[in-house]
Amino acid sequence: MSSPSHSAPLLDSLGRPLGQLRISVTDRCNLRCHYCMPEEEYHWLPREDLLSYEEIAELAATFAAVGVDKVRLTGGEPLLRRDLERLVGLLAANERLRDTALTTNGILLAESAERLRGAGLGRVTVSLDTLRPDRFLALTRQDMHDRVLEGIRAAAGAGFRKLKIDTVVIRGTNEDEILDILEFGREIGAEVRFIEYMDVGGATMWAPGKVVSRAEMLAGIERRYGAVEALAAEDAAPAERFALADGTTFGIIASVTAPFCRTCDRSRLTADGMWYLCLYAQRGTDLRGPLRGGASREEMVRLLSEVWGGRTDRGAEVRLEARSRGPLVSIESLRRDPHLEMHTRGG
Ligand code: SAM
Ligand code: SF4
Ligand code: SF4
CATH number at residue 232: 3.20.20.70
Q: CA 31 to CA 130: how far, in whole Å?
A: 14
- Residue 6 inside a domain? The answer is no
- Residue 8 inside a domain? The answer is no
Report yes or no: 71 and 23 within 8 Å, Cβ to Cβ: yes
- Residue 199 inside a domain? The answer is yes
333: pLDDT confidence band, cut at 50, 70 and 90? Answer: confident
Note the pLDDT of residue 3.
45
Q: Does residue 179 have a pLDDT over 80?
A: yes
Over residues 117-132, the pLDDT tens digits come to 999 999 999 999 999 9
Residue nearest to atom 22 of ligand 1 (CA): 198
- Residue 9 inside a domain? The answer is no
Instruction: Quote the pTM value.
Output: 0.96
- Residue 336 inside a domain? The answer is yes
- Residue 46 inside a domain? The answer is yes
Number of domain units in the chain: 1
Compute the average pLDDT of residues 73-98: 97
Q: Is the CB of 79 under 6 A from ligand 2?
A: no
Protein residues whose CB sits closer than 6 Å to any atom of ligand 3? 259-261, 264, 266, 278-280, 313-316
**278 CA distance to ligand 3 centroid (A)?**
5
Q: Give the domain extent around 25.
A: 20-345
- Residue 285 inside a domain? The answer is yes
- Residue 321 inside a domain? The answer is yes
237: pLDDT confidence band, cut at 50, 70 and 90? Answer: confident
Q: Which ligand is nearest to the CA of 74?
A: 1
What does residue 242 show for φ and ψ, rounded to 5 degrees?
A: -135, 160
Which atom number of ligand 3 is nearest to the Cα of residue 264? 1
